[in-house]
Chains A and B, each alone.
Chain A
Amino acid sequence: MGKPENGVNRRNFLTVAAASGAAAVTAPTGINEAKAVPSIARIAPPSAAEMEAEIGEARLLPAAVTSVGPNARPGSDFMVDVLRALDIEYVATNPASSCRGLHESINNYAMNKKPELLTATHEEIATAMAHGYAKVSNRPMGLLFHGTVGIQHATMAFYNAWADRAPMLIMSGNHLDAAHRPPGVPTTHAAQDPLALIRDFTKWDDQPQSLQACAEALFRAYKITMTPPYGPVAISLDAHLQEGFTENDLKIPKMTRVSAPSADMDTLKEVARMLVDAQNPVIVVDRGSRSHRFQPLLVELAQLLGAPVVDQLGRQNFPSRHPLNATDRARGVIGNADVILGLELADFWGIVNSYSDVAQPKQGRRLKDSVKLVSINSRDVFMKANYQDFQRFQDVDLALAADAEASLPGLIEMVKSATTPEHKAAAEKRTAAAGAAAAKNLEKLLSEDAVYGWDASPISTARLSAELWAAIKEHEWALVSRDARLSNWPHRMWNFDKHYHFIGDSGGAGQGYGLGAAVGAALAHREHKRLVVNVQGDGDMMYGPGGIWTAAHHNIPLLTVMHNNRAYHQEIMHVQRVGNWRDRGLGRANIGTTLENPHINFAMMAKSMGVEGIGPIGDPKELAPALKRAVQIAKAGEPVLVDVLTQPR
């Protein structure tokens, strides 16, 4: 506590200063008002005791606000220290006055290094960047947004991250104290409970009221976001904590090492027994991989069992060319299975049942009656009720509420223990049969499917994928976009076998994910000098094209290839479908669904933001030289965009 100086101690000094400041802001500038200011000053500020009696010391005078002595430091500098202790490397932001204290501290106290600010032109883009970054680096990015309008902007992207189990540390500003916050816009942007809006799809949130509580909240948030199942967490950092001062000796907690929830060995032994004794075991995997450890474990398990693997492609789970990869033959192997092991499945029901989207929807079961279903899923540990991303309930024989990556080593050991020479021989036989079926399927795909439309314009997705593979395969590459809208050709043609080759899709299927996630993923790949490829839908791009500028501004190398089919094709098909059901014709399915008249020139768009833009390319013969040039630019460390006019799918 500071000594009284001229009858005003430090605490009261701040109070006086605040009152004078308020007077200065609110007093009109007319000549008559010059006399009014002293009259305000003559009003004695309330003493600390009076203040405490009025609204409570803890509320008005938290540790951060009370001192401007020689040892005082801004509260937001302390927040930077906390972020550094958490090893937060980047904070993506769209600047916001309610975050100005922390923003200034990152600029001038941290000197914009660890964390480094990333400038995004929309909070949704910033959040998608954090989403893509986390899936490559297995680390959370920080986000710094306005507490009301910024959070509102980013909401859909948070939902994507929630559904896709991506960790991130959301920080938002607020002015909670109605008696001291600035009037006008800051008050319009203030909220009693600013994170209520996203509580249904974040794992945890808090609004600490002191710097010490802030440090503990950030550490708790970090622990929660990085404990499987991963998911976004959010902290509201009140402006008075950011902008105030402290000379208190505050404690930064120590980093907590977290262990993922793993299945118990007795239950894993039971699962192993079921799998080893099965005649046709099948593994289905979705968001299994959290790190480089997962894929080798899954390969080992599949090979021990001779079990075909159906990859839902939520992550890089299983090598695309492995003989046991049965992704393209999913319906057949699932229908023939007697035991199915589901690993981190977003939708077990949808995998083992059919649903026809026809005028009178039809549902059916794809399984043998005797099949046994086993689920290992960390989502069983933690879920919420409102949003339905947990999908329809599927009854299974055994559900292990555990993280698949953490549980696989134990399961493998149990499978090894249970395997006899007869089991091993049967597994080898199944592996050989699966390999032959996979080779036959690939031959059909390439000889009977890919060749059709080879020279077509717009360019076929098979041709685009083949040209792209030829351009990148000699490099260390990574695909940071989902290829379902390319008819899965990359996963059919390319050799996905490194843990970093693929990161899955948005999770929540909210448009606007693609470019931002690609920029964030490319940032995480940058230190490894990988050639990062983003095949970007045109509709998705138009939600957040500012990501192009962010990539240029922060020197993030990224090869974006536009899948420019000039429409929201999924939606055309939906409108067309309903029109057919109602027998009302097809001539107007393009209304509200196409991106034509005028056409969008994405190469020009890229150029306008300082990024080399190539195209538009509609002639498939022009594709190879364009991609070759683009690869050179990306390998030189710059973002580049190639606009390709494509078939719908």
Chain B
Amino acid sequence: MMKMILSLAAGTILSSAAFAADAKRGQELFIKAGCYQCHGTVGQGANTGPRLGPDPLALESFISFVRNAASTNMPPYSAKILSDAEMADIHTYLASVPKPPARKDIPLLNNK
């Protein structure tokens, strides 16, 4: 129930904030807020945190997860640390990350 309320609240705020979401600012925030420490600078994921881009969760779910990450090992980010508008910027950045090449086009990943 709480998650639903938070998701709805986030959606309400972001419906206006998302207009101004900016990928470049989002990239800066992604680094400054330390997201890259666990998820990599392009959100590619690592053994410390899952992949986030270039197809992140829907914005509302994304914010809800970050605010309520207590069910995982991820530290929660309150609105005081990252506002919804800033989260929208980060989300835009993650969505802007170019899609990777397919494995079949990377010879090194077809090595035995």
- Residues of A bordering B, CB below 8 Å: 356-359, 446-447, 449-456, 458, 460-463, 466-467, 469-470, 473, 484, 487-488, 493, 495, 569, 572-573, 576-577, 579-581, 583, 585-587, 589, 647-649
Contacts and interface: CB of A to CB of B under 8 A. Distances in A.
Interface in B71-88: 72-73, 75-78, 80-81
Contacts of A577: 75
12 contacts: A356-B72, A446-B103, A447-B102, A452-B100, A458-B41, A466-B106, A466-B108, A576-B37, A580-B75, A587-B32, A649-B38, A649-B40
Contacts of A484: 47
B81 A583 contact: yes
A130 B59 CA distance: 53
Interface string B31-73: 0111011101111111110010100000000000000001011
A415 B25 CA distance: 62
Given A359-B70, A576-B34, A647 B100 contact: no
A622 to B, nearest CB: 15
Given A467-B108, A572-B37, A451 B102 contact: yes
Nearest to B38: A573
Interface of B: 32-34, 36-38, 40-48, 51, 53, 70, 72-73, 75-78, 80-81, 100-103, 106, 108-109, 111-112
B44 A456 contact: yes
Contact of B100 (A357, A451, A580, A587): A451
B103 A648 contact: no
Contacts of B111: 466, 469-470, 473, 493
Nearest to B29: A586
B81 A580 contact: yes
B77 A453 contact: no
B37 A573 contact: yes
A581 B75 contact: yes
B42 A576 contact: no
Contact of B70 (A358, A453, A467): A358
A461 B100 contact: no
B108 A449 contact: no
Nearest to B112: A495
A579 B80 CA distance: 12
Contacts of B32: 586-587
Contacts of B106: 451, 454, 466
Nearest to B33: A586
B32 to A, nearest CB: 7
Contacts of B47: 484, 487-488, 649
Given A451-B101, A573-B37, A585 B46 contact: no
A481 to B, nearest CB: 16
A649 B50 CA distance: 12
A649 B48 contact: yes
Contact of A647 (B41, B81, B102, B109): B41
A461 B37 contact: no
User: What 9 A-B pairs come out closest when comparing CB atoms?
Assistant: A453-B44, A580-B75, A452-B44, A649-B46, A451-B100, A487-B47, A466-B108, A447-B103, A577-B75
A647 B105 CA distance: 22
Contacts of A356: 72-73
A451 B34 CA distance: 22
B33 to A, nearest CB: 5
Nearest to B52: A452
B34 A456 contact: no
A576 B73 CA distance: 12
Contact of B109 (A451, A453, A473): A451
A580 B77 contact: yes
A580 B38 CA distance: 14
A356 B106 CA distance: 37
Given A647-B40, A648-B37, 18 more contacts: A356-B72, A358-B73, A359-B70, A446-B103, A451-B109, A452-B45, A452-B51, A454-B101, A456-B41, A466-B109, A466-B111, A469-B108, A470-B108, A573-B38, A580-B76, A585-B81, A586-B32, A647-B46
Contacts of A453: 40-42, 44, 100
A456 to B, nearest CB: 5
Contacts of B108: 463, 466-467, 469-470
Nearest to A576: B34
Nearest to B44: A453
B71 to A, nearest CB: 8
B35 to A, nearest CB: 9
A528 B75 CA distance: 48
Contact of A569 (B37, B45, B70): B37
A487 B45 CA distance: 9
A576 B38 CA distance: 11
A450 B46 contact: no
Contact of A648 (B40, B70, B100): B40
Contacts of B34: 572-573, 576, 586, 589
A582 to B, nearest CB: 10
A495 B34 CA distance: 34
A359 to B, nearest CB: 7
A461 B53 CA distance: 17
